[in-house]
Structure 1
Amino acid sequence: MPRPKTKADLITQSQGNYKKLLDYVDAFSTQEQLAEFPQGTLNRNIRDVLAHLNHWNLMMLKWYTLGMKGEKPAMPAEGYTWKTMPDLNRKIQERYNDTALEDIKGELVQSFERLQVIIAGHSNEELFTKKRYKWTGSTSLGAYLISTASSHYDWAYKLIKRIKKDKS
């Protein structure tokens, strides 16, 4: 699927990839949803993958809130750089170790809906003009939303599908 270049494409792709992911996860029994992934993967189960998505959604929401107020958000997070993302992702995984899958699903629904409100509230120009907002640097707001939403949901779907296929 090509990278979204319009607001309509971003909405369609983010909502479609999100729905495809959740429908896929929900097709598994509870036992299958809770099953551990093979050794060697950072995310140890479906809960970890969904928690990862939720946390990145929350970080995007924080960047957006601070950035639109004229502040410079710590990106990707305080104490981390884009080069140290693996460390950040490990910390995210550890943070949600004791959170129930159903709680993560509920939190992901909420953070997804909040991102959709942001997307809906902007024009094509506001979403896809590079350097329009100081906080997005040389890229566009849409690029951040694509990475956090549509592309990330697609990554999660493909990861879970590959792992479940390999276990069969």
Structure 2
Amino acid sequence: MARPSSKTDLLEAASSQYEQLQNLMASLTDIELTSPFDFSGDSKKKEAHWARDKNLRDVLIHLYEWHQLLLKWVAANQGGQSQTFLPAPYNWRTYGQMNMAFWEKHQTTPLEEARALFEESHQAVLDLAASFSNEQLFNKNVFDWVGGTSLGSYFVSATASHYDWAIKKLKAHRKKCGNIIRER
């Protein structure tokens, strides 16, 4: 997937990846939905998220919470309240701790609620992206609170790129479940 560099491409990529993720979720079997994620035996999966997320709910909540980061950040700064993308006390070196805090916060959130939160926040992010012009999204230095990158890059990261991450994780889980069934 080429990284979007225009408003049209952003909205298209976000919608396309969202649809692909929805289709994948709809195709999960009961075994795939109820089996906990376990990638501990795969030495290639070293990033913290492979151990953190234990099920579909955890993945959807992660996406939802990153949508919230984007929505709150844009709203605050547009409202004249200077705010960084990552809330204090987190920064780009410690955001893994923030992700873990999101995970812990939602351990009692039911899967269906996680789905609804994700679907609502996805639409809110798309609506917000649509409210900006192409130049506001993809020209650098349009908004001083964005820093040296473009606002659109944050939207791409919170949608299409993150959905791609989720799809890869769910496909890896599906493959692992298939291997377990074949071993029985």
Structure 1 length normalisation: TM-score?
0.95
Say yes or no: does 1:85 pair with 2:110: no
The residue that corresponds to 2:182 in the other structure is none
Q: Residue by residue, what CA displacement relative to the aligned partner does 1:88-118 show, whole Å, maximum 9, x if unpaired?
A: 1111111110000000000111100100111
Q: Residue by residue, what CA displacement relative to the aligned partner does 1:58-84 show, whole Å, maximum 9, x if unpaired?
A: 111000101112322243122111110
Report the CA distance between 1:39 and its aligned residue.
5.4
Say yes or no: does 1:129 pair with 2:128: no
Gaps of 5+ in 2: 41-50, 179-184
CA distance in 2, matches of 1:120, 1:77: 24
- Return the letter of the residue paired with 2:38: P
Matched residues, number: 168
Q: Residue by residue, what CA displacement relative to the aligned partner does 1:19-46 show, whole Å, maximum 9, x if unpaired?
A: 1111101111345323210154211111
Q: What's the secondary structure of 2:94's corresponding residue?
A: helix
CA distance in 1, matches of 2:106, 2:37: 16
- Is the CA contact 1:71–1:135 (under 8 Å) kept in the aligned structure 2? no
- Return the letter of the residue paired with 2:7: K
- Is the CA contact 1:62–1:73 (under 8 Å) kept in the aligned structure 2? no
- Is the CA contact 1:70–1:135 (under 8 Å) kept in the aligned structure 2? no
The residue that corresponds to 1:9 in the other structure is 9
CA distance in 2, matches of 1:115, 1:49: 17
The residue that corresponds to 1:96 in the other structure is 106
- Return the letter of the residue paired with 1:36: P
- Return the letter of the residue paired with 2:63: L
The residue that corresponds to 1:159 in the other structure is 169
Aligned pairs for 1:5-154 (under 5 A) are 5-38=5-38, 40=40, 41-154=51-164
Structure showing greater Rg? 2
Give identity over the alignment, percent: 33
CA distance in 2, matches of 1:149, 1:142: 10
Gaps of 5+ in 1: none
- Is the CA contact 2:32–2:173 (under 8 Å) kept in the aligned structure 1? no
- Return the letter of the residue paired with 2:99: N
